[in-house]
């Protein structure tokens, strides 16, 4: 599970990354100016096509943040949650945003309170289905691919959860 933020405080890492890329462009331009012009051409073409999908991504980010917070997640992932717990873990994983470190901390707290190992693993895995980013995935790979991939990711989040519980026990705490 990857962090959703670049390294560095307050997302500075992303700007550093962009500056590094611009420096690479500048150095490449000194060697082969025509190549850089072609690359910029490719960039503007792709950006033009991706922008509408990106706009939708941010609308979804806003909606997810409005509807979900860690306290609400904690309420529905309790020890005796049963099938609803599985559902809540997977839905929470899909809807969760922000850096994964924050969720490690939340899940650490929930495990201390008795959250099942399987639900921890299922939630972490289902984070692979990035609801706000689905428009971008559809843009690049098509609706059919996106739906099939999301189906398998959700399915494997359940399989993974069950396997992790067999390996680590129902309420195994950090070693």
| Interacting residues with other proteins between 57 and 96 (CB under 8 A) | 58, 61-62, 65-66
Distance from C-alpha of 117 to C-alpha of 120, rounded to nearest angstrom: 5
Site for other proteins, residues 4 to 33, rule: CB under 8 A: 4-7, 10-11, 14-15, 17-18, 20-22, 24-25, 28
Helices of type H across 32-116? 33-67, 70-76, 82-95, 100-112
Out of 26, 33, 43, 114, which residue is the one contacting other proteins (CB under 8 A)?
43
Block residue for tokens 């959700």: 154
- Whether the CB-CB separation of 117 and 170 falls below 8 Å is answered with yes
Decide whether 104 or 114 has the Cβ nearer to other proteins. Answer: 104
Cα distances from 110 to residues 75, 95, 153, 162, in angstroms, run 10, 18, 23, 18
Nearest-approach distance from CB 81 to other proteins, in angstroms: 19
Out of 26, 72, 114, 145, which residue is the one contacting other proteins (CB under 8 A)?
145
Decide whether 76 or 139 has the Cβ nearer to other proteins. Answer: 139
Out of 23, 35, 84, 87, which residue is the one contacting other proteins (CB under 8 A)?
35
Torsion of CA 116, 120, 123, 125, to 10 degrees: -130
Decide whether 3 or 75 has the Cβ nearer to other proteins. Answer: 3
Q: Which stretch binds other proteins (CB under 8 A): 75-83, 84-92, 134-142?
A: 134-142
- Whether the CB-CB separation of 117 and 23 falls below 8 Å is answered with no
């Amino acid at each position: 599970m990857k962090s959703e933020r670049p390294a560095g405080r307050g997302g500075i890492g992303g700007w550093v990354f962009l500056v590094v890329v611009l420096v690479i462009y500048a150095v490449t331009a000194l060697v082969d100016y025509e190549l850089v012009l072609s690359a910029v051409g490719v960039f503007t073409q792709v950006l033009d096509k991706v922008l509408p999908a990106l706009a939708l991504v941010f609308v979804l980010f806003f909606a997810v943040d409005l509807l979900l917070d860690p306290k609400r997640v904690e309420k529905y992932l309790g020890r005796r949650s049963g099938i609803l717990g599985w559902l809540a873990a997977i839905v929470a994983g899909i809807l969760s945003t922000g850096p994964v470190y924050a969720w490690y901390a939340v899940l650490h707290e929930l495990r201390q309170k008795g959250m099942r190992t399987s639900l921890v693993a299922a939630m972490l895995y289902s984070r692979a289905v990035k609801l706000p980013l689905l428009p971008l995935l559809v843009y690049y790979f098509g609706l059919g691919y996106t739906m099939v991939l999301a189906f398998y990711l959700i399915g494997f989040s359940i399989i993974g959860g069950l396997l992790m519980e067999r390996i680590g026990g129902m309420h195994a705490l950090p070693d």
